[in-house]
A and B are shown apart, each in its own frame.
Chain A
Amino acid sequence: MTASGGDAAAPAPEIVVDGLTRVFGRRDVLRDVSFSVERGGFVALFGPNGAGKTTTLRVLATLLAPTSGSVSIAGHSLADDPTPLRRTIGLISHSPLLYRDLTAYENLRFYADMYGVEDREQRITELLDRVELAHRRYDIVRTFSKGMLQRLAIARALLHRPRVLLLDEPHSGLDPHAVDILDGLLAEIRAEHTFVMVTHHIQKGLELASQVLILDGGRIVFRQTGAVDPQAFTAVYREHVREGAVA
């Protein structure tokens, strides 16, 4: 399960998911999902629709409660008060989670206050510069393009300096230019964070991943650490997933 390259004195994994199950009545959405990610690692989750990928991510994001099993992120357990755990995670979803009637600055200020960011003004300026939106600081978000929204969303996610970033199909709906900017940013912050990404985009997923998981019917059906060849992976995917179709 662990993949810290055989180092005997490996530090504790950043994310540990053990026996994660989510059931209601008789429906199994997730069944005994277990994996762990070392600090600085990058897990890519693949699988057909309805396999439980987004559910897994939402459990990690504390948006859903598991029926059984344990999850621990950066040393905080999901079973305890979720507040400290929430400080350590950031979510970048295909929806930017921004308020359309507020300006970019107001949006970031809101989230900074919610997360209790100490050096608020400085941090906002710094991040707006980083995502190249400083010139749109006082513009209402409703006027932004999808690519700009996604960039601002990244700024929002990084405001509170999370250790773990959860990505839910972040490339969906973006034009090639926006995709490039997103990839550039991800590459920049790659080293400082631990990632879990749900995606249908095999190429992107494999480029960045240090660990690959395929989910199907709520279970992990394939798991591999280290680099994975995209060609081989497509074949593996078809083999393990009943309904074949791949992006």
Chain B
Amino acid sequence: MSAESINEAGATPTTRGKTGWRRLVDVPVLFVAAGVSLVTGLLLVFWVAPEEATMGFPYKILYFHAPIAWCALLGYLVAFVAAILYLRSNDARWDRLGMCGVRLGLVFSLLVMATGMIWGRSSWNVWWSWEPRLTTFLIACLMYCGYFVLRATVEEEERRATFAALFAVIAFINVPITFLSTRVLPGDMQHPSGVVEGGGLVGWMYPAFFVSMVGMTLLFFALLRNDLRVERLKEELAYIKNRLGS
């Protein structure tokens, strides 16, 4: 198959044929921006931000823990919106976005739990506590793993996308509900949440926190964009293989 006919088949051109400033599109702008932000953040966190009164040095993991948590939720939110858009338009691209959103959300959720466990172990000597936020992330992880299991069990593309979208909607609705429910039950709220809930950020903590947050979000979008591109290429590859094979 010639290059022309592959293009006819609908393959999306990459940099071929682009001139001048359009080639910039392929330069990983977002990754660079994220990198710069995060490195600055790291510097601020470790050299500039003061130690917190009661928790000492280890609390600094919060500067990563909180932005990572936010990015995880962002991933699920992206998937939720993409799912609704898919159900309304039946456009396969929304399905792709949803899947990448969930995947990133899962990765970041695992990191949340990991950083949470590190923090817990270093500050209070417990590997795990069933406090609301950590538990919600655990449940979210389990739910969204189910998302991928669901995708794996449906062979027909359109139905797979529809079901995945449905599930992404239901799962996202369940995240706040789960969080709420873990506060309904009395007991087991030993995880001190002072800093995170807004009280306690002082002076130089603000910029460090802010820069970290921005950097992590940029990283999220950089990864998302990259993921989307990889998925799209995978699909095209499968399509071309199919055409060649038949």
Contacts and interface: CB of A to CB of B under 8 A. Distances in A.
A26 interface: yes
B188 interface: no
A64 to B, nearest CB: 10
Contacts of B239: 25-26
A27 B10 CA distance: 12
Contacts of A24: 92, 157-158
Interface in B1-29: 9-10
B6 to A, nearest CB: 12
Interface residues of A, number: 5
Nearest to A27: B157
A26 B10 contact: yes
Nearest to B243: A26
B244 to A, nearest CB: 14
Contacts of B157: 24-25, 27
Interface in A126-180: none
B83 to A, nearest CB: 17
A25 B92 CA distance: 6
Contacts of A67: 90
Contacts of B10: 26
Interface in A74-119: none
A21 to B, nearest CB: 13
Contacts of A26: 9-10, 239
Interface string A14-33: 00000000001111000000
Interface in A1-46: 24-27
A24 B162 CA distance: 12
Contacts of A25: 92, 157, 235, 239
B5 to A, nearest CB: 14
Interface in B86-126: 90, 92
A27 B157 CA distance: 10
Interface string A196-238: 0000000000000000000000000000000000000000000
Interface string A36-75: 0000000000000000000000000000000100000000
Give the most central of B157, B158, B235: most A CB within 10 Å: B158
Given A24-B158, A26-B9, A67-B90, 9 more contacts: A24-B92, A24-B157, A25-B92, A25-B157, A25-B235, A25-B239, A26-B10, A26-B239, A27-B157
10 contacts: A24-B157, A24-B158, A25-B92, A25-B157, A25-B235, A25-B239, A26-B10, A26-B239, A27-B157, A67-B90
